[in-house]
A and B are shown apart, each in its own frame.
Chain A
């Protein structure tokens, strides 16, 4: 009889117990501020070496027209370093805002022996794994009214993009060949971007070319972890 009573009490106790979850320690539900990203683009036609201030580690930017991937950097904190060029060292100093993607584009200078750095910045909003994202980034001060159209068709993807700026939009994930123009004049031959994938993010850069004129570079905008 005692056992029965304890059993019944046990059941009653269980029924009466509040259906509450365990207390979970407080944890942050996200970072203090948004992430910031930085990459380097080299259109000088010469090998450049990048060194962060206070570090012995270096990154080589190949002579072939190339772009690194985006690396996460501390937002709103000054990033300093040097860029070693064949003609000397260039100081590098910039901050990247929260949510910003900054591209430092090393281009030939007016005298060709010098290297000039252009910083192009954007704060994209169009994150979508079901569509592709394409940007036109104009690093050539001489390229005015930049545009990008579907090659061989009268279909503008971007038009009237100002020098020093980045324009971006979502597009369908398709195979795409484009024609870049500055003030209506074609920049090089049509550029085959290949098959753009859903969730992929890409940029076509327009930058000064060694020997004069404007060159174009196609870059993948993926960020490393």
Chain B
């Protein structure tokens, strides 16, 4: 069956939502492979966007998966890699970035706008400069409180900030896929396995409709 993503080389990078076998590195990676894409997923827990312009050690683990291969958990060896290098090695047609919760400063009274702008624009522009299409997946509602102090107000602000600042990447607004608190979490921020499956299903459905995915196929 021909699908909109068949034949594409898709590179997925991001934060802790990609670093555990029960997170997106399972359902999302597998779903895109089933659609005929070549998929490479690299997640580094706690990473920020401009960390992906260099090789920077992670602080809380990481994971990697290539095609139909197993998930490799990297523990203390986890590190980001320069996005330009990853794109070139994979000959990626499309980069998917899963990041937002590590920018939101949930436990701080003020949102760090200048820092967030530097982070988001830095990575988005670097990807754009390679001529590679990109799509940025924003954070989900999670649950309020939890060990990261997540609030619905702040995640809504974070998502809006990303929507306005990820260009030239397309933006997938995760908040539109569910009601606040609808997907269960284990800690307020990381979803249960069923929550990640629901998120993955929604991303896979939305991806072909994005300008970035359509341009990548042309």
Contact = CB atoms under 8 A, between A and B. Distances in A.
Interface in A198-223: 198-199, 223
Interface residues of B, number: 52
Contact of A27 (B46, B110, B186): B46
Contacts of A94: none
Interface in B18-70: 19-23, 45-46, 50, 53, 59-61
B119 to A, nearest CB: 9
B115 A31 contact: yes
A19 B115 contact: no
Contact of A35 (B118, B120, B148, B193): B118
Contacts of B122: 225
Interface string B1-30: 000000000000000100111110000000
Contacts of B148: 26, 29
B118 A19 contact: no
B59 to A, nearest CB: 6
Contacts, number: 126
B121 interface: yes
Contacts of A30: 102-106, 108, 112, 115-116
Contacts of B112: 30-31, 33-35, 98-99
A33 B115 CA distance: 9
A78 B213 CA distance: 47
Contacts of A124: 113-114
Given A23-B186, A34-B112, A127-B164, 19 more contacts: A19-B22, A19-B194, A20-B192, A21-B23, A21-B186, A22-B22, A24-B20, A26-B60, A29-B101, A29-B104, A29-B189, A30-B102, A30-B112, A31-B105, A33-B108, A99-B113, A129-B120, A129-B124, A199-B167
Interface of A: 19-37, 72, 98-101, 123-125, 127-130, 198-199, 223, 225
Interface of B: 16, 19-23, 45-46, 50, 53, 59-61, 101-108, 110, 112-118, 120-122, 124-125, 147-149, 161, 164-168, 186-187, 189-194, 196
